[in-house]
Amino acid sequence: MTAESLDTLTPHPTIGIAAATTDLSKVYGSGDTSVVALDRVSIAFREGEFTAIMGPSGSGKSTLMHCAAGLDSFNSGSVRIGTTELGTLNDRQLTQLRRDRIGFIFQAFNLMPTLTALENITLPLTIAGRRPDRQWLDRVVTMVGLSERLDHRPGQLSGGQQQRVAVARALVSRPAIIFGDEPTGNLDSRAGAEVLGFLRDSVRELGQTVVVVTHDPVAAGYADRVVFLADGRLVDEMAHPTPDRVLDRMKAFDARSRTS
């Protein structure tokens, strides 16, 4: 094969990529007490793909997510959302980008207790001074099964329902990417499965890009691919994961780290 024909097979690096990091490094502290949380991590999150980030405790999962989502600063390398390099933005622009282009789902739901489910879902749009697209809002609310609960406040909803409100809130502004930090960590397995099912539906039916950090092989089984971190480095990747295969891979890492 000629170099020319090879080149035509190589996808353009920005097309179809919702977010990417290149040689991303993050160090906490300085001197003897410094910790390298991320060590030159390069990863791309393709549009319309569901990625799970896994790895042992302290391997850098949350740090990677926070840096990729513009929630945390980094020491070197670069992060982009779509074609926007985060390093070129000032604080105001970064806040705006997070608000308009990124959806967040946290373990602790982070809903406003005094607002109804509907008001919570539309809050990012209200803050941005945008009107909800009624059809889209209806589609999102129906997809997460909240049509009958829109007037309820978070305190009147189960944990699973509250997280579904958070999923709808993340989806409603049609962000370039949704980041979830242990989004099912506070839910029982049934409610967790529902929330993960909705996230997967949003990828399949709405073309949403989703990235979640998780410890749970069952949760990772909902993703299109799993990336594994260890000691701040990307060490492995698995396409079309199943919980059993993910568990086997994690056991293999554990065995290797015990013998090294």
Residues that bind ligand ATP (CB under 6 A): 28-29, 35, 37, 55, 57-63
Minimum CB separation from ligand ATP for residue 101, in Å?
23
Q: Return the number of the residue (13 or 28) whose C-beta is nearest ligand ATP.
A: 28
- Closest distance between ligand ATP and the C-beta of residue 10, in Å? 32
* Residue 61 beta carbon to ligand ATP: minimum distance, rounded to whole angstroms: 4
Strand duo 50-54 + 210-213: pairing:
parallel
Give the full edge-to-edge strand order of the sheet including 17-28.
35-46, 17-28, 76-81, 84-85
Contact 154, 120 (CB under 8 A): yes
Residue closer to ligand ATP by CB (options 56, 159) is 56
Q: What is the 3-state secondary structure (H, E, C) of 19-88?
A: EEEEEEEEEECCHHHCEEEEEEEEEEEECCCEEEEECCCCCCHHHHHHHHCCCCCCCEEEEEECCEEHHH
Closer residue to ligand ATP, CB minimum distance, 124 or 232: 232
- Cβ proximity to ligand ATP, 43 vs 144, nearer residue: 43
What is the nearest approach in angstroms of ligand ATP to the Cβ of residue 55? 6
